[in-house]
Structure 1
């Protein structure tokens, strides 16, 4: 996701100021192909991006009831209320866990892999999300560190909802509001990234 956001940022800077010395010499298409293309430095970047996006969609679908309850009238501002309600009305969030929808394919694969190795695999997954959060403390840029921590928290929350401690998931009603907010924010970031990557893939 970060690589796509970097390329998108380069493109936006070039449009805003074609003479910007930091980006005017960069080729957006070449940067995209280098960072995210099948022949680039990370050939599976887009596959991983879509896989993670489906995990986030599945987690938000499971937390749909909680989100609707927390975004009720008077609980948040009207603009956010309308935005969340409109987003959750999307058919993507109406699928059930047992459906064959691609949204759940990633969740089922993750679950099968996690429970295959028993508690150790589940514990390892939890440790990795904690390690990811700690790594963000090493980021020098305050803005980057903030966005990184939100993303790490969002991914951690998705895994918590989908897997929980024993592989059967966590009740979304027991998740802290800050974690739910991080999940929604991270899904939004991934949605923007997927949209940008789709645009780049369609362009020659």
Structure 2
């Protein structure tokens, strides 16, 4: 009997194992089916994404047709900039003549003298003895940073200007003030030379109320945004020039950004570039407009710039600068594809033209004065340079009339030419970045921030239900 019970018990255990095996098979089958559903949904979702991606790639070129108020289209500008302008300008700004810029770095803000960020006579990077000037090029000088210097730059050492120079000095050239800018460029006693190659335009940490105050004053008091159809062409041009310059500055800050201060890691902040410029089509269009405007000024001054003296004492480099300048001014591809980037003759027409010019000239002088209120040395350096460059472009296009006043020839000082060419290079660099990485950045950011479509929501919901079934089948 004991043997029989044992046998009978064995049968029961066998039946229980058989049932457990069949239950396990059912679980595995259910899991397999659910996984098939999830895989199918994933494939369908991926196909939907691919279709969306293909649709985006077909519409990748966002800016087509003529650049507004200019005489060239976007495709031509991008092609010329990539193949001709940017390579020439890249080499040109590295030559000794265009490497050094004369600038008044300390701040004497004419608009809000009580601003704590602007007491730069007591908080200047360069506390230089007077006997070291006015011949700063006679010997290389390196100035360190004190604790007060860092405080002045909001604690950011990258915001300070590197004043290292070589022994090459400039000679020649006339000195005459620019009617479009506030700085007295002939006041050499308060100015110093800076090597631009050692002080690239990049992120400095300068932000917050002080920075916003500058741009707010520029836009609200000197070139407010125009309502469509409710502003004269000349004021519209001023707004677009400042907006385009603002876009270019923002692009360079984002393109050379301090990603990790602890490791001193620099790179591109694509999210910042998108948030400040690429997501706003009008800002990109204004960048192209400003580029064409400055390019027109350079080509209009071709006779003067070709004959100018690019003398730094380094014969080989000076000949190179002169050769590169001629290649830029008389490039056959540029002359064939875009001979007139901007037509300035259509402005200042009518009886009110002279008065309007004086009004806008005053506005731009105020903007140049605001550069003295910038609370960051490197930002002030590049702000002053680019505003002087833009003021030089305005001077070339609107302050000299060789047809009606042939006895009043164009006169530029060395610093104006240096600023003009460096500004054109900065704009060229920005246009190149927008053309090369703009579409991919926009696509990535728009996909990241966009809400899923109804089809995608349906697919995701089915996937969620499938995962829920798996959880019901599996033991906890």
Tell me whether the two structures share a fold, i.e. TM-score over 0.5.
yes
Runs of 4+ in structure 1 off by over 4 angstroms are: 21-24, 71-76, 165-172
| Alignment partner of 1:107 out of 334, 343, 347 | 343
1:120 is the counterpart of 2:355: yes
The alignment covers a number of residue pairs equal to 187
Hey, what's the Cα distance between the residues in 1 that align with 2:435 and 2:392?
Answer: 26
Hey, what's the Cα distance between the residues in 1 that align with 2:329 and 2:287?
Answer: 21
1:81 is the counterpart of 2:81: no
1:51 is the counterpart of 2:280: no
Aligned partners of 1:115 and 1:167 also within 8 Å: no
SS in 2 for 1:140: coil
Match of 1:183 in 2: 420
Hey, what's the Cα distance between the residues in 2 that align with 1:190 and 1:127?
Answer: 24
Indicate the RMSD between aligned Cα atoms, in angstroms: 3.4
Deviation at 1:144, TM superposition (A): 1.5
Match of 1:9 in 2: 256
Deviation at 1:83, TM superposition (A): 3.0
Aligned partners of 1:59 and 1:162 also within 8 Å: yes
Q: Map residues 12-161 of structure 1 onto 2, 5 A cutoff.
A: 13-14=258-259, 19-20=260-261, 28-37=269-278, 39-40=279-280, 43-71=281-309, 77-91=318-332, 94=335, 104=340, 106-108=342-344, 111-116=345-350, 117-161=352-396
Q: Which has the larger radius of gyration?
A: 2
Residue 92 and residue 177 in structure 1: after superposition, are their counterparts in 2 closer, same or farther (change >3 A)? farther
Deviation at 1:121, TM superposition (A): 1.6
More helix by share: 1
SS in 2 for 1:175: coil
Residue 125 and residue 102 in structure 1: after superposition, are their counterparts in 2 closer, same or farther (change >3 A)? farther
Aligned partners of 1:4 and 1:193 also within 8 Å: yes
5+ residue gaps, structure 2, are 1-247, 444-476
Hey, what's the Cα distance between the residues in 2 that align with 1:124 and 1:151?
Answer: 21
Hey, what's the Cα distance between the residues in 1 that align with 2:264 and 2:310?
Answer: 44
Deviation at 1:59, TM superposition (A): 0.5
Deviation at 1:20, TM superposition (A): 3.6
Deviation at 1:165, TM superposition (A): 6.7
SS in 2 for 1:173: coil
Hey, what's the Cα distance between the residues in 2 that align with 1:190 and 1:124?
Answer: 26
Residue 142 and residue 27 in structure 1: after superposition, are their counterparts in 2 closer, same or farther (change >3 A)? closer
Hey, what's the Cα distance between the residues in 1 that align with 2:402 and 2:263?
Answer: 47
TM-score by structure 2 length? Answer: 0.35
Q: Which has the higher contact order (CA 8 A, sep 6+)?
A: 2
Residue 124 and residue 75 in structure 1: after superposition, are their counterparts in 2 closer, same or farther (change >3 A)? farther
Aligned partners of 2:396 and 2:410 also within 8 Å: no
Residue 115 and residue 181 in structure 1: after superposition, are their counterparts in 2 closer, same or farther (change >3 A)? farther
5+ residue gaps, structure 1, are 96-100
